[in-house]
Amino acid sequence: MKFLCVPCDSPMKLQTVAPPERGSLSIVYSCPECGYEIAMLTNAYETQVVQSLGVRIGPDMGEGASASLAEGSAEAGKCPFTAMIPTEGEARPFDSAQGRPFDSAQGGPGQAGDPIAVRWTAAAEARLANIPSFVRPMARTGIERFARERGLFEVDEKILEAAREFFGM
Amino acid sequence: MKSYHDIVGDGGSRILEQVAEQRTRITDGLAGVRHLVAVGSGKGGVGKSTMTLHLAGALRARGLRIAILDADFNGPSQARMAGVQGATFVPGSHKVSLPRTSNGIAVFSMGSVIPESESLEFESAAEGESHTWRATREFSLLGEILGSFEWGALDLLMFDLPPGAERTVQYADFLGPRTSFLLVTIPSEVARGVVARSVAALSKAPNRLLGYVENMSGYYCRDCNAIKPLFSGPFDAAEGSTSGLGIPCLGTVPFDPELARHCDRGFPLAELPDTPVGRALDHVAQQLLESLT
């Protein structure tokens, strides 16, 4: 979708995207010539259609645009629907694109029964952050279990490699 | 006044470019895969998943590098049948490693992610209107899986498709012309009719239609060591009659109750090679390879 400032005959530029509110996005465009601003307000169907494509709406982060859909979140650069994304481990319905907290019956992070917390090094955490969020909780749980079973309480890249080897990958 | 096509870009979000980048990630991720084969039917309950897994096993036994992507997100069965239900996905340096079966087949199935006690539900801004967006969402998920997991160097990546003739064509559209299709039917007129619709729909796509396999073509009685009739269908490929599907028959596979037990327990077919079913699957595997070359 594109917006044209009719008096200037100039394409409008996306300025800000507010986090979705009750399924609606507020996206502000402005004319670079006259500065006139408009807001596109989506209904829930329109929001969902874009969300289903797995794309983000917002100014290109690489261009240093001032507007952003959500601030300070690691997910902000990836998804325009950050406000819809509960934090990992929080109870929520399944969200295939954003992940589902691993079922407690199969073990989840931080649940009762985990006697000692397993720490992740920054490098290992970075690897985890790089995988699709819908498998992240179960990957975290499985690898922490793998580490604990070996008497280890820190996951680093060597443990990840060992886990790959162990699981036949 | 400028028209849509006079304006370069979309003002900021680069939606089309993002979609193109997704496609590039998929293409790059599958660059090491020699053949993409989708196992579909259109009809449910004909044994697509069983056929996919055991054909993969027969091909693996020939030394080929095989992976399965269970594309039936709403009714995933490969995790249980392949014995990777409790598997852990391990993040690699760039992509996610896939769990493997005991005989070395890499498997992705949503059954490894979602417990069987739960259904696949997507978070949505448009509650109660999933018919308007769900298919798009599922294909977006498929793209994410293809682009994020480590498929590596493979001889075959097999897709276990969900039922539905229209879904089969949607997968052809999404996966592109590189993907060849193998259809599964059973010797019943009802199944043949549905599969015929899939053949008709796929014939309009650029994808290769390799042929079909007639599954449940009789059942193997261990007591008699004989194949007995299971359906009294109007055609029987084993007897040389035609299915009327207009595509090659790559073989017939009888039903074996022991095989069904293996599937439920996640045991590989390797323990059943010297049976009529094992031999039939090996024959189909051979035919499949010949049709791909």
For A23-83, the three-class secondary structure string (H helix, E strand, C coil) is: CEEEEEEECCCCCCEEEEECCHHHHHHHHHCCCCCCCCHHHCCCCCCCCCCCCCCCCCCHH
Binary contact (A48, B133; C-beta < 8 A): yes
| Probe site for chain A from B6, B22, B89, B112 (most A CB atoms < 10 A) | B89
Task: List chain A residues with CB under 8 Å of B91.
Answer: 127-128, 130-131, 139, 160
How many alpha carbons fall within 13 Å on the CB side of residue A51?
A: 31
**pTM value?**
0.83
Please name which of A68, A94, A93 lies closest in space to residue A80, comparing C-alpha atoms.
A68
Apex B151 CA angle, B150 and B157, nearest 5: 155
Give the least confident one: A6-15, B53-62, B112-121: B112-121
B115 interaction partners in chain A (CB closer than 8 Å): 103, 105-106
Q: Cβ neighbours of residue B124 under 8 Å, at least 6 residues apart? A: A48, A51, B130, B133
CB B41 within 8 A of CB B118: no
In CATH terms, the fold of domain A86-169 is: Helicase, Ruva Protein; domain 3 (1.10.8)
Nearest-Cα distance to chain B for A90, in Å, is 14
Task: Give A-chain residues touching B144 at CB under 8 angstroms.
Answer: 54, 97, 132, 134
pLDDT in tens, B166-214: 999 999 999 999 999 999 999 988 999 999 999 999 999 999 999 999 9
Mutation for testing the B interface, residue in A17, A27, A31, A48 having most B CBs under 10 Å: A48
Tokens found for residue A106: 């199969």
Query: Does residue A66 have a pLDDT over 70?
Result: no
Paired tokens of B8: 């370069």
Beta carbons within 8 Å of A131's beta carbon, 6+ residues apart = A139, B89, B91, B95, B96, B148
| CA nearest neighbour of B195 among B177, B176, B213 | B213
What's the rounded Cα separation, in Å, for the pair A54 and B136? 9
Per DSSP, B5 falls in state: G
Task: Please indicate if any CB of chain B lies within 8 Å of the CB of A53.
Answer: yes
Two structure tokens written together for A134: 């819908």
Query: How many Å apart are CA B210 and CA B213, to the nearest integer?
Result: 10
A84 contacts B162 by C-beta, under 8 angstroms: no
- Contact list, A14 vs chain B (CB under 8 Å): 10-13
Q: What is the pLDDT of residue B242?
A: 56
On whether any CB of chain B is under 8 Å from the CB of A122, the answer is no
Residues of B whose CB is below 8 A from A132? 96, 144-145, 148
**What's the token pair of residue B147?**
């682009």
C-beta atoms surrounding B237 within 10 Å:
20
Q: What are phi and psi of A17, to 5 degrees?
A: -130, 120
In sequence order, what DSSP letters do the residues of A94-146 get, joined into one string?
Answer: --TTT--PPPGGG--TT-TT--SPPEE-HHHHHHHHTS-TTTHHHHHHHHHHH
Residues 6+ apart with CB under 8 A from B291: B180, B210, B211, B248, B250
Of A95, A131, A164, the CB nearest to B148: A131
- Predicted confidence (pLDDT) at residue A105 exceeds the cutoff of 50: no
Contact indicator for B7, A4 with CB cutoff of 8 Å? yes
Q: Is A38 on the interface with B (CB under 8 A)?
A: no
pLDDT tens profile B73-130: 999 999 999 999 888 899 988 899 999 998 899 999 999 988 888 888 888 887 778 8
In chain B, which ranges are continuous DSSP H helix?
15-29, 48-61, 78-82, 134-148, 165-175, 189-202, 257-265, 276-292
Which DSSP state fits B100?
Answer: B
Is the pLDDT confidence value at A38 over 80?
yes
CA distance B54 to B213: 13
* CATH class held by domain B15-292: alpha beta
Q: Do A96 and B141 touch (CB under 8 A)?
A: yes
State the nearest Cα–Cα gap between B237 and chain A, in angstroms: 39
Tell me, yes or no, if A96 comes closer than 8 A to chain B by beta carbon: yes
- Tell me which amino acid residue B172 is: A
Supply the Cα-derived Rg of chain A in whole angstroms: 21
Q: Give the model's pLDDT for residue A113.
A: 55
| CATH 1.10.8.550 domain range(s) in chain A | 86-169
Q: Which residue of A has its CA nearest to B98?
A: A169
Give B136 to chain A, closest Cα distance, Å. Answer: 6
Q: What is the mean pLDDT of chain A?
A: 73
The residue with greater pLDDT, B152 or A92, is B152
In chain B, whose CA is at the least distance from the CA of A164? B90
Residues of B in contact with A164 (CB under 8 A): 90, 92, 97
Query: What H or E segment, with its residue span, contains residue A157?
Result: helix A157-166
State the CB neighbour count (10 A cutoff) for residue A2.
16
Residues in B closer than 8 angstroms to A3, CB to CB, are 11
**Chain A residues touching residue B98 (CB < 8 angstroms):** 169
- B269 falls in which pLDDT band (50, 70, 90)? low
Q: Where are the domains of chain B?
A: 15-292
Return the closest-CA partner of residue A161 out of B224, B225, B231, B97.
B97
Instruction: Quote the CA–CA distance of B62 and B17 in Å, as a whole number.
Output: 42
Q: Greater confidence, B20 or A110?
A: B20
Model confidence at B252: pLDDT above 90? yes
Classify residue B36 by burial, with Cβ atoms within 10 Å: 0-12, 13-18, 19+.
buried
pLDDT band of B272, cuts 50, 70, 90: low
Query: Which residue did the predictor score with more confidence, B255 or A73?
Result: B255
Of A29, A94, A160, the CB nearest to B120: A94
Among partner residues A4, A47, A169, which is closest to B97 by beta-carbon distance? A169
pLDDT confidence of B58, banded at 50, 70, 90?
Answer: very high
Residue of B13, B94, B145, B151 best to disrupt the A interface, most CBs of A under 10 A: B13
- Chain B residues whose CB is inside 8 A of the A36 CB are none
Q: Which residue of A has its CA nearest to B119?
A: A94
**A71 to chain B nearest CA, in Å?**
17
